[in-house]
Amino acid sequence: MSADGATPTRPRDAARVAGMGETVFATYSALARATNAINLGQGFPDDAPDGAVLEALRAGADGHQQYAPMPGDPNLTGAIARALGGALARDLDPLANVQVTVGATEGLFASVQALVDPGDEVVIVEPWYDAYPEMVRMAGGRVVGVPMRLEGARWRLDRAALTAAVGPRTRLVMVNTPHNPTGAVYDDDDLDAIVAAAARADAVVLSDEVYEHLAFVPFTRLASRPGAWERTLTVSSIGKSFGVTGWKVGWVSGPDDLVGAVRAAHQWIPFAVATPLQRACATLLEGVASDGGASFARLRASLERRRDLLTAVLTDTGFTAHHADGGYFVVADATALGFGDGEALARALPAAAGVVAIPMRAFVSGEHCALVDGMLRFAFCKGDDAIAEAGVRLRAWRDRGFAAA
Ligand code: PMP
Ligand code: GLN
């Protein structure tokens, strides 16, 4: 009750969530279900994983029903340390250098909780994965956005803008390569510029590499660059590499002092991650370690082919499609079709065309929203049938003169 005893009230929300909106992925996947549209919005594969993945899941469940150790199941931390250590040419200690988390999401959240105090600045490249700025705000940090540049059909890191944005108050620089949503893959000069800027400010780099095995051009891990390891936390997860986004098993790796800080936060968030899933992930990582990279090469080839299919569909519809060098997504500009407001188009598209895409507006700050006016993000990690049917529907919409429903 309010002070006058008449008006019913409810307990107030904490400031960190008061007025917070819903994530765009919840909104647009619900819209896809409600309208029976093809969901090229949220990034998850819609084909069944292969038999070996399901077999690993069944075997992982066998006899492993109790809490895993807080840092992670030793089979999994061992497999991660071997895989990443091999890639970085560095001897990693599974306990000191790896923390298993509930997907990359909890890895990022725990890292921000571990490193950001109220008032600290966190530099984030825009467009960004929508969770990043919210995680920083929930920790009381101040978000400093650095816009990427569109160079021809490719999105590129603006090294000069990033360097200028990192200063004495910067505690963390959050980057993602291969990049969601633009499909950019940072080259070595980009990575060196990030490391140099962070070093000058004595800041930590949080490198989100969940699409590490889905680059269609040469890919370098940020932590492998000179001077990077000591100040870098690398985040990844099982979801994209094996087409199992619902498993939500991830990890954070880096030098022992930084991983120790992440672990201090993690122990009070979930404490431990589902044991059967960790066992299954260990089996999958051990399996690919012994196949000489063949299965990841097949996965990349299959995704690259679907990128080309979807890009052709979008171009044929009249969109200006950008070029994705990695990941799950292609960005397309509808300005030439007469849609300057990508958010309005994304809301209308399910009813008008029977297809869901995500407005790029969801991935930028208000300050930099002009960068993505008229743009949508489409996922190509879907089956051939879904992409072909989306093509049929989008062309029919084009032939109706891009009419609303
Ligand atoms: N980072 C990026 C860039 C992503 O695209 C995603 C989406 N899956 C995540 C983090 C979250 O990964 P996870 O599902 O493993 O929590
Ligand atoms: N990473 C996925 C995407 O970008 C979504 C993950 C989520 O729904 N939180 O579409």
Domain of 205, CATH number, reads 3.40.640.10
Q: Is the CB of 176 under 6 A from ligand 1?
A: yes
Closest ligand 1 atom number to CA of residue 238: 15
Among 291, 320, 353, where does a domain finish? Answer: 291
**Rounded to the nearest whole angstrom, what is the distance from the C-alpha of residue 42 to the centroid of ligand 2?**
5
The answer as to whether 232 is a domain residue is yes
The confidence score (pLDDT) of residue 8 equals 79
CA 272 to CA 99: how far, in whole Å? 10
| For residues 260-281, average pLDDT | 98
Minimum-distance ligand to the CA of 107? 1
Q: In this structure, are 92 and 206 located in the same domain?
A: yes
Quote the distance between the C-alpha of residue 133 and its chain's center.
13
Q: In this structure, are 231 and 112 located in the same domain?
A: yes
Minimum-distance ligand to the CA of 277? 1
Q: In this structure, are 250 and 268 located in the same domain?
A: yes
Q: In this structure, are 341 and 262 located in the same domain?
A: no
**Rounded to the nearest whole angstrom, what is the distance from the C-alpha of residue 9 to the centroid of ligand 2?**
35
Complete DSSP assignment for 149-174:
EEETTEEE--HHHHHHH--TTEEEEE
Does pLDDT of 350 surpass 80?
yes
Among 265, 291, 317, where does a domain finish? Answer: 291
Residue nearest to atom 3 of ligand 1 (CA): 180
Tokens of 46: 């819609």
Q: In this structure, are 273 and 344 located in the same domain?
A: no
User: 279: helix, coil or strand?
Assistant: helix
Residue nearest to atom 7 of ligand 2 (CA): 25
Tokens of 201: 């400010």
Instruction: Give the CATH number for residue 321.
Output: 3.90.1150.10
The confidence score (pLDDT) of residue 3 equals 56
Percent residues over pLDDT 90 in the chain: 96
Residue nearest to atom 4 of ligand 2 (CA): 43
Which residues contact residue 127 at a Cβ distance below 8 angstroms, ignoring those fewer than 6 apart?
A: 148, 155, 181, 182, 360, 363, 364, 371, 372
230-239 pLDDT, tens digit each: 999 999 999 9
Q: In this structure, are 108 and 225 located in the same domain?
A: yes
Helix (H) or strand (E) holding 317: helix 294-317
Q: In this structure, are 236 and 316 located in the same domain?
A: no
Minimum-distance ligand to the CA of 178? 1
| For residues 167-183, average pLDDT | 98
Tokens of 351: 């009813």
The total domain count for the chain is 2
Using most ligand atoms within 8 A of CB, pick from 22, 39, 40, 44 the residue to mutate for ligand 2: 44
Q: In this structure, are 132 and 218 located in the same domain?
A: yes
Q: Is the CB of 180 under 6 A from ligand 2?
A: yes
**Rounded to the nearest whole angstrom, what is the distance from the C-alpha of residue 258 to the centroid of ligand 1?**
21
Minimum-distance ligand to the CA of 247? 1
The answer as to whether 12 is a domain residue is no
Q: Is the CB of 210 under 6 A from ligand 1?
A: yes
| For residues 242-249, average pLDDT | 98
Q: Is the CB of 234 under 6 A from ligand 1?
A: no
Which residues contact residue 14 at a Cβ distance below 8 angstroms, ignoring those fewer than 6 apart?
A: none
Q: What domain range includes position 329?
A: 24-43+295-399
The answer as to whether 11 is a domain residue is no
pTM: 0.97
CA 271 to CA 74: how far, in whole Å? 15
The answer as to whether 3 is a domain residue is no
Q: Longest C-alpha distance within the chain, in Å?
A: 72
Does pLDDT of 6 surpass 90?
no
The answer as to whether 6 is a domain residue is no
Q: In this structure, are 112 and 55 located in the same domain?
A: yes
Which residues contact residue 137 at a Cβ distance below 8 angstroms, ignoring those fewer than 6 apart?
A: 16, 143
- pLDDT confidence bin for 33, thresholds 50/70/90: very high
Query: Which one is predicted more confidently, 5 or 195?
Result: 195
**Rounded to the nearest whole angstrom, what is the distance from the C-alpha of residue 101 to the centroid of ligand 1?**
12
Mean pLDDT rounded to a whole number for the chain: 97
The answer as to whether 66 is a domain residue is yes
H-state helical runs in 36-118: 51-61, 74-88, 94-97, 103-115
The answer as to whether 284 is a domain residue is yes
125-173 pLDDT, tens digit each: 999 999 999 999 999 999 999 999 999 999 999 999 999 999 999 999 9
Among 242, 269, 291, where does a domain finish? Answer: 291
Q: In this structure, are 240 and 365 located in the same domain?
A: no
140-150 pLDDT, tens digit each: 999 999 999 99
**Rounded to the nearest whole angstrom, what is the distance from the C-alpha of residue 396 to the centroid of ligand 1?**
33
Closest ligand 2 atom number to CA of residue 43: 10
The partner residues of 142 in beta bridges, in order of sequence, read: 121
| For residues 285-293, average pLDDT | 93
What is each CA distance from 37 to 46, 281, 343, 351, 352, in whole angstroms?
14, 32, 17, 8, 10
Helix (H) or strand (E) holding 172: strand 170-176
Q: In this structure, are 223 and 272 located in the same domain?
A: yes
Closest ligand 2 atom number to CA of residue 130: 4
Q: In this structure, are 171 and 38 located in the same domain?
A: no
